[in-house]
A and B are shown apart, each in its own frame.
Chain A
């Protein structure tokens, strides 16, 4: 059973924590030892939120080590661009094609890097950057809060593991009345990477 290290990066309010909880539970369901750590600052909304999720035969540290992540899952482009140094060679970046300006950009005092620049940066380590219209897909399905589940759908094809195991965990972890909608979001994500 080989170790798989995931890094999730997003902005407060985007649902990274639920998504990272689901990903950790899926690992447990698939028989891995699992640890998960969240790094989030003071504010409820609008700051960076990063999660480290580790699957393995035996996992010690809850934090992923630099140069070692297999997957970077970016909920927002700039947030993904902060973590190329965590990626190992031949890794994969899965990035929501969505931009949320940080305050300095809104104030006209800093530039938001272009998508092309971000892709080039991530490709210094990753084999591939897979862009997902996560926010668009989730919005079309009726709830932009499901970005995370769309991204997990796309990720599930790449990581493997029984699709039903993923759906089972999602069914247990999202509010009951949104289960069917989230399953749709998951399947829509799978189509992106399938």
Chain B
């Protein structure tokens, strides 16, 4: 039967169906739902690891042990896990290892727009790219087979539009092949698996030879194929862009590439001989285009389509019209109205503990180095309370560096609990070791909230619902050697201010754990307070906390009770005491 599945659901189904028994990941949009779905299948082990590098090592270990394994991550997650990818390409494995990696063109939820096809070339690792959910399911199986045939990890590339789109998948009630009756026996082969220089030097030629074999495989694999059409125009495309191109160029000859690295040069030449003009339709970098150009083939690509952002059928069509590839379709008249439509940027939720913390930080005027999470939204007006954000865990090192540069401002680093466990532990060690006095604030809401409330080592539960030891950030930093550690609910504004001032005045490195559970996750809700219109002078100070239920009317502020969470932060910040708790 056909079942609608998102790309992410299909990756998970494919992994289950093709016998992946161990999978590990750290959540990251748009990849998070792959592991979340996989974890629900029977007979599999899934884990949220503290970060992507650990996750990939776990998957590599399982594959070394002869068990099919998967690691899933977003594009920037592969930066974290890159070290592991590179050694695994050298060692190879005992069983299939698939890495499902999701890029985020247009940065719907990311700090950059890197094109991870470049990693395939860089790490000398084969990469295949499905274009819809049915292919997502199938390609995971193909990747595992390739991984075993060529003794290498295989990357399956996704993008946001594939991971988060739903398309029909052939679904059966059949499960995966049964697991082996005996537990796997580990075959010790240190020459292959210990990458000291002498062994690595022996492995590098194997990697190069393997790439040549993979390029031969690319010539004949059904992943790559020519779709006959008019000889006037040939389109080269892969992934979800292929579908946009199919809409826009219904008559063209297509070279649809399911395998994007290494590329099938003979097939490409065969295709090139069939058509008068070649156009590559690919999002982000001119990865395919440059390869074709190096082959001496005349192609168009980034001279027609942008290097920035995400494609859509509308964009591909308008670029194609502009380049004279197609006629402009009949269009309805241009819209005349220029109605002003205010944007609706994402905001911290009503009742969010981060808001109370950043209110205090702003009031104190400190320089805040931030990190990746919901709380990054505190950079925006009206809170305006974060001044740098780069990548997971960067906040602490950046704060320490600013301190060491001799800046006079009070600097604090702020990161969430899940981000702290992801990559905040090493930098707090650094601050301690190198005589820093940075104050690190862990804004602890007991959740990986932004990506959808995944469990993490501090929540006491695994992805598969098993109870787990709780990694307590307080014990952890005290164990490392921090002596100045305080815990405070940021909703206790006065106490929070006092602790913050005390830490800023102190000469020693310190940690504040600002702890308030995520209200979306606890579903905690109270009766909304009321504004007394007689007392409210409409000064707008409450509006500066950036809480969506607070609405400025003509002569006073009103609270939208449908949206309000009843947290009472506005009651505390109103200087007129015009907002009254009920």
Q: A41-B108, A44-B520, A45-B520 are in contact. Are A124 and B336 (CB under 8 A)?
A: yes
Q: A33-B168, A62-B161, A107-B543 are in contact. Are A24 and B4 (CB under 8 A)?
A: yes
Give the secondary structure class of B's interface: loop
Give CA–CA (A101, B377) in the complex, Å: 18
CB pair B342 A62 closer than 8 Å:
no
A106: B residues at CB distance < 8 A: 543, 548, 550-552
**Interface members, chain B 520-550 (any A CB < 8 Å):** 520, 540, 543, 546, 548, 550
**Which of B161, B166, B552 has the most A CB atoms < 10 Å from its CB?**
B166
CB pair B168 A63 closer than 8 Å:
no
CB pair A62 B450 closer than 8 Å:
no
Give CA–CA (A92, B109) in the complex, Å: 32
CB distance from B474 to the nearest CB of A (A): 27
**Interface members, chain B 154-199 (any A CB < 8 Å):** 161, 164-168
The chain B residue with its CB closest to the CB of A79 is: B344
Give CA–CA (A37, B335) in the complex, Å: 25
Q: Could you mark each residue 8-34 of chain A with 1 if its beta carbon is under 8 Å from any beta carbon of chain B, else 0?
A: 000110000000010011001000011
A64: B residues at CB distance < 8 A: 313
A144: B residues at CB distance < 8 A: 562
B166, B377, B548: the one contacting A24 at CB < 8 Å is B166
A42: B residues at CB distance < 8 A: 29, 108-109, 346, 374, 377, 450
A158: B residues at CB distance < 8 A: none
CB distance from A97 to the nearest CB of B (A): 15
**Which of A21, A39, A84, A106 has the most B CB atoms < 10 Å from its CB?**
A106
A79: B residues at CB distance < 8 A: 344
CB distance from A24 to the nearest CB of B (A): 6
Give CA–CA (A82, B109) in the complex, Å: 21
Give CA–CA (A127, B356) in the complex, Å: 48
A67: B residues at CB distance < 8 A: 314, 329, 331-332
Interface: B240 (CB within 8 A): yes
Q: A35-B167, A60-B247 are in contact. Are A88 and B340 (CB under 8 A)?
A: no
Interface: B349 (CB within 8 A): yes
CB distance from A41 to the nearest CB of B (A): 5
**Interface members, chain A 49-70 (any B CB < 8 Å):** 60-67
CB pair A84 B335 closer than 8 Å:
yes
CB distance from A188 to the nearest CB of B (A): 20
Interface: B246 (CB within 8 A): yes
Interface: B406 (CB within 8 A): no
CB pair B342 A102 closer than 8 Å:
yes
CB pair B244 A61 closer than 8 Å:
yes
Q: Could you mark each residue 124-168 of chain B with 1 if its beta carbon is under 8 Å from any beta carbon of chain A, else 0?
A: 000000001000000000000000000000000000010011111
Interface: B382 (CB within 8 A): yes
CB pair B374 A82 closer than 8 Å:
no
* B interface residues, Cβ below 8 angstroms from A: 2, 4, 29, 108-109, 132, 161, 164-168, 240, 243-244, 246-247, 312-314, 317, 329, 331-333, 335-337, 339-349, 374, 377, 382, 449-450, 452, 520, 540, 543, 546, 548, 550-552, 560, 562-563
* A interface residues, Cβ below 8 angstroms from B: 11-12, 21, 24-25, 28, 33-48, 60-67, 78-79, 81-82, 84-85, 87-89, 100-108, 110-113, 117-118, 120-121, 124-125, 144
